[in-house]
Amino acid sequence: MRALRIVLLLLVALLAWLQYRLWLGGGGQGEVQALQQQVSKQARDNSGLQQRNDALAAEVKDLKNEGGGEAIEERARSELGMIKPGEKFYRVVEQANAAPAEEAGKPEEKPQ
C-alpha cells in the first residue's frame, strides 16, 4: 500500500513537472507561439519582396527586349526630365498659398 502511494506521488510530481515544461519552460507553448508569429511576419515580408522582385525582373526584361528603347526613353523622361531635340518643356508650378477663386478678382491692397 505504501509503495502504491509513493508511485502515485511520483507520477503526480512527474505530471506537474511536464505541465510546467509544456507551458512555461524553454521550448514550451509560449515560445512556440512567439516563433509562429515571427514565421508569419517573415512570410508576409517575403511575399512583399517577391512582388518587388517580380516587378524589377519584368522591368529588366522590358529594358533588354528590342522595344527597350521606348522603356529607356520613358525612364529618362520621367526620372531625369530629358526632352527630345525640338521639343519644348513646360513646367507648371502651383503656388502653395493659392488664393480662393472669389478673392482672385479683387485687387491686392498694399500696406503703407
Q: Report pTM.
A: 0.45
CB proximity list for 24: less than 8 A, separation 6 or greater:
30
Cα-based distances in Å from 99 to 47, 104, 112: 46, 6, 22
49's grid cell: 519582396
User: What single-letter DSSP state applies at residue 96?
Assistant: T
The candidate with the shortest Cα–Cα distance to 23, out of 33, 12, 14, is 33
Instruction: Kindly report, residue by residue over 41-72, the tens digit of the pLDDT.
Output: 999 999 999 999 999 998 888 778 766 677 77
The answer to whether residues 59 and 65 touch, using CB atoms and an 8 Å cutoff, is: no
Ranges in the chain, pLDDT < 70? 66-68, 98-112
